[in-house]
Structure 1
Amino acid sequence: MDSGFGYFATHDVVGPGPLALLVEQRGHQALFFTEHTHIQASGAPPVPPEGGALPRKYWHSYDPFTACTAAGVATTRLRVGTGVCLVPQHHPISLAKTVASVDHLTGGRFEFGVGAGWNEPEIRNHGVDPSRRFAVMKEHVEAMRRIWTQDEAEYHGEFVSFDPIWSWPKPSQRPHPPVLIGGTGPRVLDRVLAYGDGWLPNYAPGILDRVRELQRRAADAGRPVEVVIMAAPADPAVLEACEKAGVARVMAWLPSAGLDRLQREMDSFEEALAEMRGV
């Protein structure tokens, strides 16, 4: 089981490149960046999934693909990714090119964490009905897979439709970067098995039971599925349980803050990893 971090990269704290280099130098394997294209300025304030007031980082964050590119060119081994990209808020032809370009520019080190979003006004501002967002995400991912893997890609669905197109570059990874389905909703495992390469949930009590359920279902289907857990706590017992459950990577969220605080948070997570590993 390897390790990494998730980060709301904003314009007023440690940037993606310097942080990525630090994460790589400290021996971790991945750094993921989150996404919100905007936050509505009127109406009732949105409440984030974790509850409480919405932090300002939600509307001050960099575009995650730009952040991934900066992180990738600053490092040589680090995996970079989205945690998560709000897929329904993008056009799939453009998004397919963006993903392929980042993967190509980083030498095949990109991981595509995807989600349908939770902030309904944000989703509506992109012309998407929030009640159909999961169906939209499915078609977008399916269409992008065709663009990544076919010289002349064509797709016709309810929300996405295009005749044969040419689009390069193709991703460096074959057949394409891993698609990690985010979320912990009741149907998320169905989505992982239908059109994902792995699952990217936030840690919560009971999540490892669902990891084992996913692994059983994947084995029955005769296909490999990777699990990467975000929001992993700095708790050796929890980290050990993740490893025993077959989790491939644990990732802790870093605060959008200055270097001293970031290093303290990294120290805490690393100390828990070391204790778990008996180092």
Structure 2
Amino acid sequence: MKFGVSTFLTDQGIAPAALGRAIEERPLDSLFIAEHTHIPVSRRTPYPGGGDLPEIYYRTLDPFVALSAAAAVTRRILLGTGVALVGQRDPIITAKEVASLDRVSDGRAVFGVGIGWNREEMENHGTDPRTRGRLVDERLRAIRELWTTEKAEFHGEFVDFDPVYSWPKPIQRPHPPLYVGGGEGAFRRVAALGDAWLANSVPPEELGPQIERLRGLAGRDVPVTVYGVAKDPGVIERYQELDVERLLFFLPTKPEAETLAELDRFVGVMERVT
């Protein structure tokens, strides 16, 4: 099993290049970062974690700018969105951003995607929360066409364009891996469009049966990465008993010195369970 890091990169914590370099210096294989374009001042949608919305949600850096900064100072680690909110993104621009990240990182981009939970945020992008699932599915299919076809064309309910040229194409073939986030409601999207399931903090006792249901639906051995894992050796050992490809430790958003100390604590936990 592999281990990586999931975090919110903001203007108040460690810089992207410093974090990328620090992860590369340790036996960790990946960096996944969250995205929110903005947070509406008037918000009806409750925070899924309960209570007040943490400040990190208000201050996230653009994921592709941040990951490109990390790419420039690393050579090994995977660089992923965890997750990109596709329902709030133009598919043609997003296809170019992911392909560009894959190019500047020499084939290390991972496109982690989700439909989002903040209804007011997506409404400000012109997205109807009631149809966001269908919208995301179409945009993902369109992005895949733009990555893999010289004269890409797409005609759907939400996305519609005649043949276009869109370069650069990604280095990875047929395209960067698409990690689909979400719970069981996302399983059909994982089965139809995903290369892996990005499970968000699902406890081990729930994850095992969910993996079986997902793989039964998909008819294949879908890889699983678990996002936001605590540094608890007992819990990690229970994940090891499942067929999980990767665990992503949740890294709090802190200044550089505190972040480096936390990364070292992750390594200490890894050494205890491997």
Check conservation: 1:212, 1:245, Cα contact below 8 A: no
Which position in structure 2 is the counterpart of 1:254? 251
Which position in structure 1 is the counterpart of 2:29? 29
Q: CA RMSD in A?
A: 1.4
Report 1 or 2 for greater relative contact order, CA contacts < 8 Å, sequence distance ≥ 6. 2
TM-score by length of 2: 0.95
SS of the aligned residue for 1:201 comes to: strand
Check conservation: 2:148, 2:169, Cα contact below 8 A: yes
Q: Does 1:267 align with 2:230?
A: no
SS of the aligned residue for 1:137 comes to: helix
* Percent of aligned positions that are identical: 42
Which position in structure 1 is the counterpart of 2:109? 110
Give 5+ residue unaligned stretches, structure 1.
none
Which position in structure 1 is the counterpart of 2:191? 193
The aligned runs of 1:214-233 (5 Å cut-off) are 214-218=214-218, 221=219, 223-233=220-230
SS of the aligned residue for 2:200 comes to: coil
Q: Distance in 2 between matches of 1:216 and 1:237?
A: 28
Q: Distance in 2 between matches of 1:69 and 1:43?
A: 31
TM-score by length of 1: 0.93
SS of the aligned residue for 1:49 comes to: coil
SS of the aligned residue for 1:253 comes to: strand
Check conservation: 1:233, 1:269, Cα contact below 8 A: no
The aligned runs of 1:1-279 (5 Å cut-off) are 1-44=1-44, 46-184=45-183, 186-205=184-203, 206-218=206-218, 221=219, 223-277=220-274
Q: Distance in 2 between matches of 1:43 and 1:19?
A: 32
**1:48: Cα distance to partner?**
2.4
CA gap of 1:234–1:38, structure 2 versus 1, over 3 A, is same
C-alpha offsets along residues 16-59 of structure 1, whole Å, 9 cap, x if unaligned? 11011001101110001110000001355x53221121111111
**1:14: Cα distance to partner?**
0.7
CA gap of 1:175–1:214, structure 2 versus 1, over 3 A, is same
AA partner of residue 78 (structure 1): I
Check conservation: 1:230, 1:250, Cα contact below 8 A: yes
Give 5+ residue unaligned stretches, structure 2.
none
Which is further off, 238-247 or 135-144?
238-247
Which is further off, 26-35 or 237-246?
237-246
Q: Distance in 1 between matches of 2:148 and 2:191?
A: 19
CA gap of 1:123–1:262, structure 2 versus 1, over 3 A, is same
Q: Distance in 2 between matches of 1:10 and 1:99?
A: 20
CA gap of 1:43–1:86, structure 2 versus 1, over 3 A, is closer
CA gap of 1:43–1:85, structure 2 versus 1, over 3 A, is closer
AA partner of residue 153 (structure 1): A
**1:191: Cα distance to partner?**
1.3
Check conservation: 2:4, 2:30, Cα contact below 8 A: yes
AA partner of residue 191 (structure 2): L
AA partner of residue 196 (structure 1): G
Q: Distance in 1 between matches of 2:50 and 2:214?
A: 27
C-alpha offsets along residues 71-127 of structure 1, whole Å, 9 cap, x if unaligned? 111101011010000001011111111111111111000000000110000010000
